[in-house]
């Protein structure tokens, strides 16, 4: 959508084919509805916390159907907004599935369209593991449209989607288990983030099974694990990976090279092995984040239709995980920094946020800075705690610009906030 809109703005004649609803995964079954669910799940803790500040509340109750209806209404509004924006930009909208015939031809509805450039931005789709009984499970796609909340749920996986939905289910009153085959959550993030997040989620009531993987599902639903143990639940949700949507698009016949997982292989300018065919977003399986995909779209539009060759910079991209508590990060993990730079200085702190001190809550906020020992440049900033994404967005500017630890230290903190801890850390971790 972003690529189409900007290309049209730059004077290109643009047609966009969409077989579903506008907005892709993010708007329909991703970031937006997930964040709305995450907000809903936090209220139970907020109501409890309010009592310590003198508020007297009646008995709270939650209605899943109300949340679902309000979420659907907002998503429908966004669908309409996006379609309207495309139409106003002058893009021709084709409602249905298109396929690639050759390097300059697309087929849609029995008709062929010629194009100087073809862009593939078909995203990815959640995958179920090939185990017996997998048809009894759901993925994140279906989780946004459940008729009712289960009493007991098992979420399988250890990445973004898994920890977010485990937190959502638990926050909405579901007895929740999170099972992951690895030794710690959030593989690919700084190691301490995964370890500490597991601790905090356990405090909130999520049962976490590490190095644990379902071997089969049986009607009931009974989950049999690879280690011989078993568990009965009402719902199993797999969040164990996504696969690029390239099957049946005709790309290979047009000379487009695909990776083993089906991802379109592209260069720094999002150009495939067929120079007239380009790809951006999750279908390329580079850095699968919505803001990255939209930035890739803008960069491609500038490259093709504005005479400004623009390569997407995938370094120091900030990201957040809307688990409870939130996780956010920008730059290098401690492990990756040591691999690339050798000697690094590490600063970290853990504390109970001021808001939690009156109610006896045990949740602890965690912050960490990874600094290049030679240049003193801040290579990475990491956080677990309330509003971590909001706080790290500002720090991402400093990390992107190459700020040093001394410049962090020279910045006055806003008191009393959690964010000020990022500019007051003085003792290196051993």
- End-of-domain residue from the set 240, 272, 294: 240
pLDDT of the residue at 361: 87
Is the domain of 22 the same as that of 72?
A: yes
In a domain, 31, yes or no: yes
| Sequence-ordered list of residues with C-beta below 8 angstroms from that of 354, at least 6 positions apart, any chain | 416, 418
Is the domain of 228 the same as that of 269?
A: no
Q: What is the CATH number of the domain that holds 10?
A: 3.50.50.60
| Count of the separate structural domains present in the chain | 3
Is the domain of 7 the same as that of 95?
A: yes
In a domain, 194, yes or no: yes
User: Choosing from 42, 117, 314, 415, which is the catalytic residue?
Assistant: 415
pLDDT of the residue at 359: 86
What does the DSSP 8-state code read for residue 53? T
- End-of-domain residue from the set 190, 223, 240: 240
Q: List the pLDDT tens digit at each of the 430 positions of the chain.
A: 999 999 999 999 999 999 999 999 999 999 999 999 999 999 999 999 999 999 998 899 999 999 999 999 999 999 999 999 999 999 999 999 999 999 999 999 999 999 999 999 999 999 999 999 999 999 999 999 999 999 999 999 999 999 999 999 999 999 999 999 999 999 999 999 999 999 999 999 999 999 999 999 999 999 999 999 999 999 999 999 999 999 999 999 999 999 999 999 999 999 999 999 999 999 999 999 999 999 999 999 999 999 999 999 999 999 999 999 999 999 999 999 999 999 999 999 999 999 999 988 899 999 999 999 999 999 999 999 999 999 999 999 999 999 999 999 999 999 999 999 999 999 998 6
In a domain, 320, yes or no: no
pLDDT of the residue at 360: 82
Catalytic residue check, 415: yes
The domain of 350 spans 325-423
Say whether the peptide bond before residue 416 is cis (omega within 30 degrees of 0). yes
Contact 22, 317 (CB under 8 A): no
Is the domain of 119 the same as that of 184?
A: no
Strand partners, 119: 278
Is the domain of 270 the same as that of 282?
A: yes
User: How far, rounded to the nearest angstrom, does the alpha carbon of residue 427 sit from its chain's CA centroid?
Assistant: 32
d(CA 2, CA 8): 10
In a domain, 314, yes or no: no
Is the domain of 114 the same as that of 9?
A: yes
Nearest C-alpha neighbor of 109 from the set 20, 23, 17, 14: 17
pLDDT of the residue at 179: 98
Is the domain of 9 the same as that of 118?
A: yes
pLDDT of the residue at 177: 98
In a domain, 388, yes or no: yes
In a domain, 428, yes or no: no
Is the domain of 10 the same as that of 117?
A: yes
pLDDT of the residue at 422: 98
In a domain, 301, yes or no: yes
pTM, 2 dp: 0.96
pLDDT of the residue at 13: 97
- End-of-domain residue from the set 199, 225, 240: 240
In a domain, 116, yes or no: yes
Residue 176: phi and psi, rounded to 5, are: -120, 135
pLDDT of the residue at 349: 97
Is the domain of 37 the same as that of 115?
A: yes
d(CA 177, CA 172): 14
Is the domain of 342 the same as that of 377?
A: yes
Contact 372, 337 (CB under 8 A): yes
pLDDT of the residue at 289: 97
Q: What is the CATH number of the domain that holds 382?
A: 3.30.390.30
């Amino acid at each position: 959508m972003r690529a189409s809109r900007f290309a049209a703005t730059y004077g290109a004649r643009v047609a966009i084919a969409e077989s579903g609803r506008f907005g892709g995964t993010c708007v329909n079954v991703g970031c937006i509805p997930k964040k709305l669910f995450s907000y809903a799940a936090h209220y139970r803790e907020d109501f409890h916390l309010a009592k310590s500040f003198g508020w007297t509340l009646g008995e709270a109750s939650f209605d899943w159907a109300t949340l679902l209806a309000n979420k659907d209404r907002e998503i429908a509004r966004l669908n309409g907004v996006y379609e309207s924006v495309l139409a106003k930009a002058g893009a021709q909208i084709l409602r249905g599935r298109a396929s690639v015939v050759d390097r300059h031809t697309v087929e849609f509805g029995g008709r062929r369209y010629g194009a100087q450039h073809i862009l593939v931005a078909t995203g990815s789709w959640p995958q179920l593991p090939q185990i017996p009984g997998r048809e009894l499970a759901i993925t994140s796609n279906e989780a946004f449209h459940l008729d009712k909340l289960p009493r007991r749920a098992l979420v399988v996986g250890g990445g973004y989607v898994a920890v977010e939905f485990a937190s959502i289910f638990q926050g909405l009153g579901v007895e929740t288990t999170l099972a992951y085959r690895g030794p710690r959550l959030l593989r690919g993030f700084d190691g301490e983030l995964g370890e500490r997040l597991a601790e905090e989620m356990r405090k909130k009531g999520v049962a976490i099974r590490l190095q644990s993987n379902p071997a089969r599902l049986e009607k009931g639903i009974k989950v049999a694990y690879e280690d011989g143990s078993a568990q009965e639940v009402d719902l199993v949700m797999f969040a164990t990976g996504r696969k690029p949507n390239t099957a049946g698009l005709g790309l290979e016949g047009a000379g487009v090279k695909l990776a083993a997982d089906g991802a379109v292989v592209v260069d720094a300018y999002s150009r495939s092995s067929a120079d007239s065919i380009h790809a951006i977003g999750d279908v390329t399986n580079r850095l699968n984040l919505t803001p990255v995909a939209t930035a890739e779209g803008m960069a491609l539009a500038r490259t093709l239709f504005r005479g400004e060759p623009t390569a997407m910079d995938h370094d120091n991209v900030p990201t957040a995980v809307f688990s409870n508590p939130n996780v956010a990060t920008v730059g290098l993990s401690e492990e990756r920094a040591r691999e690339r730079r050798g000697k690094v200085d590490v600063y970290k702190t853990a504390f109970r946020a001021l808001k939690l001190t009156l109610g006896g809550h045990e949740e602890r906020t965690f912050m960490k800075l990874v600094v290049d020992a030679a240049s003193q440049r801040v290579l990475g900033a990491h956080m677990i705690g309330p509003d971590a994404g909001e706080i790290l967005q500002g720090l991402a500017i400093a990390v992107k610009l190459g700020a040093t630890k001394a410049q962090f230290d020279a910045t006055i903190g806003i008191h009393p906030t959690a964010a000020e801890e990022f500019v007051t850390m003085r003792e290196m971790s051993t």
